Amino acid sequence: MPDYQSHTAAVVTEGCKVNSYESAAIAEALAREGFCVRPASEDCDVYVVNTCTVTAASDKTARQMIRRLIAACGTITQESFESQDVSQVM
């Protein structure tokens, strides 16, 4: 198992209550792997944005965040990117 003791991570939730539960599980998994989980307002090595595209507002906010990220998960990655030019988002 890699040593992530000196790495920091933040999990950002955009969307529904289900996403909140999923984000908590993601944060717990990161902590188990040795990441120091911090608030997203702090500088971190890794940011995970868990998205929901049920509303246009959450979709827009998630897209803005993803433009600055390396990895993302959630329904925005499954639905929206398939129907759009990803180069506009990344």
In the predicted model, what is the mean pLDDT of residues 8-19?
Answer: 84
Name beta bridge partners: 12.
Answer: 49
Q: Is the pLDDT of residue 14 over 70?
A: yes
Backbone angles phi, psi at 11, to 5 degrees: -115, 125
Mean of the per-residue pLDDT values for the chain?
A: 76
- The token pair at 11 is 């999990």
In the predicted model, what is the mean pLDDT of residues 31-42?
Answer: 93
Question: Residues with Cβ < 8 Å from 38, sequence gap 6 or more?
Answer: 8, 9, 10, 44
Q: What pTM value is reported for the model?
A: 0.65
In the predicted model, what is the mean pLDDT of residues 13-38?
Answer: 89
Number of neighbours of residue 50 by Cβ within 10 angstroms: 26
- The token pair at 84 is 């759009």
- Amino acid identity of residue 18, one-letter, is V
> Dihedral of CA 8/69/29/38: which sign?
positive
pLDDT for 39-79, tens place per residue?
A: 988 999 888 888 877 777 777 877 777 776 666 666 655 55
